[in-house]
Structures are given as C-alpha cells and as structure tokens.
Amino acid sequence: MAEMSSNFLYAAFILYLLATFLFGGAIKDKRGAEEKKQNKWAMLAISVTILGFAAQIGYFITRWIAAGHAPVSNLFEFTTFFGMMLVGAFILIYFLYKTPALGLFALPIALLIIAYASMFPTEISPLIPALQSDWLHIHVTTAAAGQSILAISFVAAIIYLVKFVDQTHASKRTFWLEVIMFTLVSTIGFVIITSTFAATDYKANFDWIDKKGAADKQEFNLPALVGPHEGKLIEQDRLEPLVSMPAIINAKKLNTVIWSTGAGIVLYGLIRLITRRRVAALIKPIVKNVNLSLLDEISYRSVLIGFPIFTLGALVFAMIWAQVAWTRFWGWDPKEVWALITWLFYAAFLHLRMSKGWQGEKSAWLAVIGFAIMIFNLIFVNLVIAGLHSYA
C-alpha cells in the first residue's frame, strides 16, 4: 500500500508538470487570451490538472490506509498535503474566473512544494502520543486548506506584479520582486542539492547534547556546515562543522536552510549570467495579456475565502486541541506565535482593502508578504526553532 501511495504521488507530479505546459499553450493561443473564454489548450490543461489532483487524493487515501492515521503528522506529509490543497484551491478558483495564467504559476509552485516535501524522510512512522487524537485530522487539514486558498492570493499577486512592475530600469519594486524570484529559485536549488547528496547516500552522524541536557544522536544528510550542540562527529571522513549551534536550534534543519540558500545563490547567479536579465523580466512577456483588475479581484477573493478557514483550523481548532493535549489553550510555542502573526496580518489585509488606495499594486504586495509569513512558518520555524511542534 505504501508503494502504491508513492506511485500515486509520482503520477500526480508528472500530470501537474504536463498541465503546466498545457496552460502555457493556452496563454499563447490568442483565441483564449481573454478571460472567461476557454480554448482547447485550457480545457485540456484543467482536465489534466484534475486528473493529477485525483491521483494525489489517491496518494492521500492509500497512505492513510497504510499508516492507520491521517498522513499529516510530519513535515513530508503536511507539506505534500499543503501542495495538494493548493491545487484543489486553484481548480476551484479557475472554474470561477477561467484564467489560464493562474495555472501557469500556481502549478509550478505546487510542484516546488511537493518536490520540497519529498526531500524529507518519507517513511511511515507511528504517531507519537501527543498526535494520537482526532483533532490531528481536524486541526491540520483545516489549517492547510486555509493556507492553500491564501496561497492562491499570492499566485494572483505575483502575476499582477510581474506584469505591472516596470522592468526597464532598476527600482525598489524590481528589487523586491526579484527577491521573490530568488526565493523560488532557491527552492529549486534545495531540491537539486538534496537529490544529489541523497543519490550518493551521504550520511554524517553526531553525538550531541539536547536542550534537556540528555545525550542523543543526530544524522545529517548534507555536509554539516553547522553542527549540533556539543556535537562530536562519529565518521572521520566527513566535513567537520564550522560552528556549533545552541540546543534550542535544530542544527540539522538549519544546515538544510543554509545549503538551500547557497544552492539558490549559485543557480540564480547562473540564470542572470546566461540571460543577462532579471528573472521577473524573463517571464513578463508570458503575462502580457492578463487583466490586472481580474487578478486583483482573484487575490482579494482568495483571502476572503481562505481567512475564515485558516482562522478555524490554525487558531480555534488548534486551541481546543491544545487544551485537550496540554491542558492550556495557549502556550506561546513558536508555531502558535506565527499562526497568530499570520492571522493578524491577513486580518489587517482585509481591513486595509476597505480603505481607499489599498487595491491593485499595494494589495498585491500585501498578498506576497502574507505568503512569505506562511512560508517562514513552514520552513524556518519548522526547520530551525525547536518547540512543541518540532515533530512537524
């Protein structure tokens, strides 16, 4: 069953990749460039996307059967589910607005998320006692669903900014838009670098002291640029860490972030060197026919839909489960804090949309910042800061 689950996920990945190219064809076909019209390319693209989504649902169901619990209990499972829900949210939004350009950007982001997830351990493991609750299904799935719909707001905002921002001269706008492009390229770099070392079966084991003062072991799958607290490298033929981290920092996961950033810098530098253009400038011609007003509406409506779902999953259901599991509604755990920050930000987003002048470009930048907060929570808080949610 576990092997069948992996096959379903692989099939979904291939279908999403195919659908991305088909959406590209839909954009090039001028007969379907106008919103609310579907050309043959667009119809084929959304059909393939739905097939991929069905395959990923097959992955989710078969892995649930194999594991005996909802597959959202670790970073691989949650991130994969997040990618699946992002595609589901895109399908819903697409049938409302019939905008092929949305698929050309949403599906690659979903592909990056799934590829990012696949770099973490994929083995099925039993639930730790803290997760053995029905609230696991309720809290995590609802929070991921809300985040995925909010992510569509980001997708629409990126398309808006790529078309709107003038790339003929350097400015603050081009700089920050290029920072976003660099982040996406860094994710690709992470997949490449992790896959490379996985192919060589690289392992470096450390004896270290955790934050409770207990001796423990930790295995690195990338050369350790930073090492664990009071860590001693067991193998003699592996790279010695340049610096040791305090026990509160997860050195293994921080090391992954550092490698990802480095790989992103190299890959981004190669793209700029070869093309002599900003990444945003490279993709600007693709979105020349999209309607900016429609993109602004999609971005806003996505937040309107996603915000209440996120509120239920990430705050209300989370606090109920925290009371059941830890006998308190709130404990200022890093994940709890960032969930609150995310909620406050999108609450402010909706408030500002009601104010004059906070539509269009300003709203698009807010959507980008909101997504950055969510990704910071998903990557940095999960990978670096130790807390009660470290098992995620």
pLDDT exceeds cutoff 60 at 137: yes
State whether the Cα torsion 224-228-229-235 is positive or negative. Answer: negative
User: What number is the average pLDDT over the span 104-117?
Assistant: 88
Determine what percent of the chain is predicted with pLDDT higher than 70.
Answer: 91
pLDDT exceeds cutoff 70 at 133: yes
**Per-residue pLDDT band at 1 (split at 50, 70, 90):** low
Indicate if 301 and 237 belong to the same structural domain: no
Query: Is 223 inside a domain boundary?
Result: yes
Strand order in the sheet with 215-220: 215-220, 204-209, 232-233
Indicate if 178 and 247 belong to the same structural domain: yes
Integer angstrom CA distances of residue 47 from 31, 42, 44, 94, 219: 19, 8, 5, 12, 43
Indicate if 268 and 183 belong to the same structural domain: yes
209: which strand partners?
A: 215
- The verdict on pTM exceeding 0.85 is no
Query: Is 315 inside a domain boundary?
Result: yes
Give the H/E segment covering residue 233. strand 232-233
Most confident of the following: 159-163, 252-256, 323-327 = 159-163
**What mean pLDDT, rounded, does the chain reach?**
85
pLDDT of residue 34: 45
Query: Is 131 inside a domain boundary?
Result: no
pLDDT of residue 184: 85
Indicate if 154 and 177 belong to the same structural domain: no
Domain boundary among 95, 111, 126: 126
127 versus 130: the higher-pLDDT residue is 127
Indicate if 12 and 113 belong to the same structural domain: yes
How many domains would you assign to the chain? 3
Indicate if 78 and 177 belong to the same structural domain: no
Indicate if 258 and 113 belong to the same structural domain: no
pLDDT tens-digit map of 234-257: 988 888 898 988 887 778 878 888
pLDDT tens-digit map of 341-368: 999 999 999 998 887 778 889 999 999 9
pLDDT of residue 385: 56
Indicate if 161 and 173 belong to the same structural domain: no
Indicate if 232 and 308 belong to the same structural domain: no
pLDDT tens-digit map of 184-229: 888 888 878 888 888 888 889 999 888 778 888 888 888 999 988 8
**Per-residue pLDDT band at 128 (split at 50, 70, 90):** low
Q: Are 173 and 160 in contact (CB under 8 A)?
A: no
pLDDT of residue 72: 82
Indicate if 320 and 272 belong to the same structural domain: no
335 versus 101: the higher-pLDDT residue is 101
Q: What is the DSSP letter of 246?
A: P
Domain with 71, as residue range(s), is 1-126
- Long-range contacts, stretch 128-133, CB < 8 angstroms, 24+ apart: 128/391, 130/325, 130/388, 130/391, 131/69, 131/73, 131/391, 132/69, 133/321, 133/324, 133/325
Query: Is 135 inside a domain boundary?
Result: no
Query: Is 363 inside a domain boundary?
Result: yes
pLDDT tens-digit map of 277-315: 999 999 998 888 888 999 999 999 999 999 999 999 888
Query: Is 132 inside a domain boundary?
Result: no
Query: Is 282 inside a domain boundary?
Result: no
Query: Is 140 inside a domain boundary?
Result: no
Distance of alpha carbon 184 from alpha carbon 280, whole angstroms: 11
Indicate if 269 and 305 belong to the same structural domain: no
Q: Which amino acid is at 121?
A: P
pLDDT exceeds cutoff 60 at 31: no
Indicate if 259 and 365 belong to the same structural domain: no
